[in-house]
Structure 1
């Protein structure tokens, strides 16, 4: 965090006026106002937290775009064939199937994949409102995926959508926190 040394050989820190954040050669603040410098490690932690939050909030939509595209297009033929066969099973668990109207497996797969891709792109590059709506759609899709796996007694595969669900809820929370901070500042 040390930016440079001033004329007296004292350390001056980033983004601070020299009179406010100067530490003497003995490591103690030179004046009463510069005691805040002892918290510079906490500031480093907050900066790393923001970087980690940004990575997590950017990586999740990319994962959803990837999984959504794998449902729509055969980038990996074996995975695509497995998706097609799985969605023919999943349509029997869809709520309308209990009333006698199961959706077509291919149409179901295409709609879920399209919603994943469009919502993820909204979360990735959209404004705050679109990010929140995209997160809510992805949360709904993940809850449906978890319930589908649990009804079919596939407990281990239900862990993947559960992790995505928690991650999406974190991204929604981070988006709302960022919006709250920007409203306070303005």
Structure 2
């Protein structure tokens, strides 16, 4: 009587388990690092929004004939959606802004960069090293852009004909 056995041997099962283990070890880091990639891509989106809005502010400044004025010059502002945007050589002036959205204090309100770019004030925060800094950084809420390496920086245009520098630093994301 010839009986045929059906099923897998113990050795075959062990080999399959080992192969699955090797695949899991090599594939797992790709899936674990998704949060870092998401944060980096969010910053790249913020960078694109800043660059695009800065170009639109420059276009408005060029139409108004104020693209050659420094921020210290009288009349270097342009009006966007009824709000004055302080410019430096036609681009938004980093010195003038201290928040992402509008900061309201009593009866006065200080326009934030929300006057020229729409960013999520619940997720992002603006950091400046000092009140006169010609650069600001945007990072995730609750993080310190002065110490971590996960932010977008905006630096003023250096002179007439120059453009602001917008850069993403994502080594610490």
Q: Same fold (TM over 0.5)?
A: no
The structure with the greater share of residues assigned to strand is: 2
Query: Which structure has the larger Rg?
Result: 2
The structure with the greater share of residues assigned to helix is: 1
